[in-house]
Amino acid sequence: MNISRQMIVSALEAANLAGSGPRECIHRFLKDEDVLLADLNLDSLATMEFCIYLELNHGISIIPHDVHQYESLNALVNLIEEMRS
């Protein structure tokens, strides 16, 4: 798994997503499947925690509003890889 995907997984885990649906989505993402952000049911607090984790642990600055401008986790991977290059 590339570093950007692992960063997203860690940030999602830090966001304390509740329920089996989001956990299953993370599991699929770990198997290199794409996951729609809508399937994660990210509320505003989880989105903020996701962004804070990326900023504090990886220096990746994404504002919560921008997260929801992307349709899927693969789109966020592409954004992070672009930011890191």
Q: pTM surpassing 0.75?
A: yes
DSSP string, 30-83: HTT---BHHHHT--HHHHHHHHHHHHHHH-----HHHHTTSSBHHHHHHHHHHH
Per-residue pLDDT for 1 more than 70? no
CATH topology of domain 3-84: 1.10.1200
Segments making up each domain of the chain, as ranges: 3-84
Give the model confidence (pLDDT) of 51-83 as tens digits.
999 999 999 999 999 999 999 999 999 999 999
State mean pLDDT over 37-59: 94
pLDDT band at 47 (very low <50, low <70, confident <90, very high): very high
